[in-house]
Amino acid sequence: EFHFLRRVKHVKEVCMEEVEMKIMLQKVWNEIRERRKLMEEYEVDHIDEYKKLNTDKQKPYILLAIDEVAMLQDEKECMTIIEKISAVGRALGVFLMLSMQRPDAKVLDGKLKLNMTVRMGFRCADSINSNIMGTPGAEDLEQSGQMMLKLHGLKKVQAPYLELNKAKQMIEPYRVPKDTVELPSPEQEKLPLFGVLNHEE
């Protein structure tokens, strides 16, 4: 469902295949490594502090959204990078959003589950699934769009309904002309990955 975001100028890539995801995850991890070097150089512990010291060399926040992350559970390299991003990304301005149709203990286990501090559990089949998500009570939700939100405690929240056509209208001002979008080619996979997420003024 991310396809309609492909031409939004803030979106670097929309990956549809596992091989594309591997490349993008490595790009994000390389960016994280670069940001860690900058933090050490300027002796700060958060990207916001770096921004205050370097108003002319800003580092944008990065949101890495992965739908149906359970499909990557057999991609060990991908899951390793995702786990590392979940551990160190926030302080460096890199935020991770994972979603799946059904909670999977094999995916949400160990460090990854602990590092995902904010959780939204929509209606689940049973208490086992809702407990895997860490949102007990999600199995009792009845209305569409309701969720159990874990954020400084647990509470029931109603999500707004947004039609796809309305979403497209909302992002239209941020879209770029179709002929300016460059889709990744096989040759690009061989290019150095360092620096590809540099902020564009």
The mean pLDDT value of the chain amounts to 85
1-115: CATH, from 3.40.50.300, 1.10.579.10, 3.40.50.1820, 3.40.190.10: 3.40.50.300
Residue 49 has pLDDT above 90, yes or no: yes
pLDDT band at 180 (very low <50, low <70, confident <90, very high): low
d(CA 84, CA 129): 25
Q: Would you say 163 and 154 are in contact if contact means Cβ atoms under 8 Å apart?
A: no
Please tell me the predicted confidence (pLDDT) of residue 179: 62
**Digit-coded pLDDT (tens) for 70-105:** 888 889 999 999 999 999 999 999 999 999 887 777
* Least confident span in 109-123, 133-147, 185-199: 185-199
Three-state DSSP at 201 gives: coil
* Domain spans in the chain, listed from the N-terminal domain onward: 1-115, 118-163
Calculate the alpha carbon distances from 95 to 4, 61, 86 in Å: 21, 8, 8
Range name among 29-38, 39-48, 67-76, 139-148 with the lowest pLDDT average: 67-76
